[in-house]
Structure 1
Amino acid sequence: MTRQKILITGASSGLGEEMARRFAAQGRDLALCARRLGRLESLKDELQAAHPGIAVAVRELDVTDHDAVVRVFGELRGELGGLDRVVVNAGLGKGARIGTGRADANLATARTNFVGALSQCEAALAIFREQNSGHLVLVSSISADRGLPGPKAAYSASKAGVSALGEALTAEFSKSPIVVTTLLPGFIATDMSGKAGDTTMMSTLDAGVDAMVSAIEKETNRAPLPGIRWRGIDLALRFLPHAWTSRFV
């Protein structure tokens, strides 16, 4: 099945922006959301210039505002004439050691990455239930497999929540026309990941997004990526003793 009308949140940079380029090149119609409307409008102009036959709709959106998520998803559905796939991609990577006076950073990460993802799932699945079809994609992280220490603690916890949500929804819709995919990217070179420090295991943006789009198109239920290395790390983090896997975290 070709999912022609695709909504992507967090589309003004990084993984979301590159996924939009990939789907536009395939002739898909796009609904793009992010907090930075100016960057979305520039991306829209670029995509429509390169691919004149596609429709691109953009909206400013803060995914921590649940009412706005519901309203914007509804508006974009109306503008494109439907939604076949929603990619829950908007995320935040800032954080601090818990208890060191930077609760603001950790709470913002938790609200955006988990509560915001839940809001997007609520809005998307209300649409998919009504039309009895659709593909929901959750962008989690390999860090969801194991709680990470220090400044990454809130981030990994928030992504663990996204993965658990994806697992629950996959089970709920397993015998329905609604499909749920959870992506677990490893280290992929973006503006956000560039602040992570160690880059020895970093994949290029092209390789990472190619793997993400491939898994999305296959409608895989759960996909650690890119490549066999991250599938191996995913298995190790989930099933081996902490003493054996401490070097990964």
Structure 2
Amino acid sequence: MRRSILITGASSGLGEGMAREWAAKGRDLALCARRLDRLEALRDELVERHPNIRVSIRALDVNDHEAVFRVFREFHDEFGTLDRIIVNAGAGKGGPVGTGLFEANRHTAETNFVAALAQCEAAMEILREQRQGHLVIISSMSAMRGMPRIMATYAATKAGVAALAEGLRIEMRGKPIKISTIYPGYIDTDINRKMKSRPFVVDTVTGCKALVKAIEREPDKAYVPGWPWTPIGFVMRRLPLSVLGKLS
């Protein structure tokens, strides 16, 4: 059993939801995010509900790369070991490329890929030293193909982290370090709540239960929830561009 779990982006959305699910399972949690006040409230809630678990929090902006390495190391030193590290923090702002929204697209690209790389670097340093552990990278169903309009940059970053995870998985084959790529479909969170179309959306509790169940299996990759996103993933990789053009 993976006892100690680090989650980035834990102050809201999927990170917060996964923290609640693992707390209910009796796991110790290392939680970090930009909004310390929300982390404090979450920690107090979890410890009150589950007094036998340990919850540690740190403020962290994942775009501060030096801080990523420092915070991960502080959590490791505090817990003694980090059995599972979830690279979850991300951003969803942006617009069609070439329409004057470069700064928003740049922020999404830097947060979702460069900052994710920093998290993977910091995580893998620790897991290599431990010679064991589970690295989980949260991608997106949008990573299946290039996506148009407002999804273009976001989808590209999620494809990038999925490729990074696959490279690590190849390298770690036969070793006691597992690498999982998780492709969530539409789970109701702030990052997608303003979208005009969210087919097959599920509420946060349902989605996070499915995420935790999938991650606990430690798969190479998983589409979450499995139905209908596993068959949709298969189809998306084969759709003609004329159809993809209607998806955002």
Q: What's the TM-score bracket when you normalise by the shorter of the two chains? A: over 0.9
When normalised by structure 2's length, the TM-score is: 0.97
Alignment partner, residue 208 of structure 1: 207
- Rounded to whole Å, the distance in 1 between the matches of 2:245 and 2:67 is 41
Q: Which residue matches 1:107? A: 106
Task: Give runs of aligned pairs for residues 140-159 of structure 1, distance below 5 A.
Answer: 140-159=139-158
Aligned to 1:16: 15
Structure-1 separation of matches of 2:241 and 2:150: 19
3-state SS of 1:52 partner? coil
Q: Following the alignment from structure 2 to structure 1, what is the Cα–Cα distance between the partners of residues 205 and 81? A: 29
Aligned to 2:227: 228
Q: Secondary structure at the match of 1:147?
A: coil
Q: Which moved more, 1:9-18 or 1:98-107?
A: 98-107
Contact 2:81-2:130 within 8 A present in 1 as well? no
Q: Which amino acid aligns with 2:51?
A: P
Change over 3 Å in CA distance of 1:100–1:245 after alignment to 2 = closer
Counterparts of residues 74-153 of structure 1 (less than 5 Å): 74-153=73-152
Q: Which amino acid aligns with 2:232?
A: I
Partner amino acid, structure 2, of 1:131: Q
Q: What are the ranges of 5 or more consecutive residues in structure 2 without an aligned counterpart?
A: none
Aligned to 2:64: 65
Q: Between Structure 1 and Structure 2, how many residues are aligned?
A: 248
1:23-63 deviation line (CA, Å, top 9, x unaligned): 00111000001000110011000000000111111001111
Residue 194 of structure 1 aligns to a residue whose secondary structure is coil
| Deviation of 1:248 (Å) | 4.2
Report the counterpart of residue 183 of structure 1 in structure 2: 182
C-alpha distance in 1, partners of 2:103/2:247?
27
In structure 2, how many angstroms separate the alpha carbons of the residues matched to 1:20 and 1:144? 24
Distance 1:80 1:247, change over 3 A: same
Which ranges in structure 1 are unaligned for 5 or more consecutive residues? none
- More deviation, 75-84/176-185: 75-84
The aligned residue for residue 51 of structure 2 is 52
Task: Provide Cα deviations, 1:164-214, integer angstroms capped at 9, x if missing partner.
Answer: 111111111111000000000011111111012213421221221111101
Check conservation: 1:44, 1:57, Cα contact below 8 A: yes
Whether contact under 8 Å (1:139, 1:183) holds in the other structure is yes
How many angstroms does 1:97 deviate by? 1.4
Equivalent AA in structure 1 for residue 74 of structure 2: E
- Which amino acid is the alignment partner of residue 136 of structure 1? L
Percent of aligned pairs with the same residue?
54
Amino acid in structure 2 at the alignment position of 1:220: P
CA deviation vs aligned residue, 1:68-94 (integer Å, no higher than 9, x gap) = 100000001111221000000001011
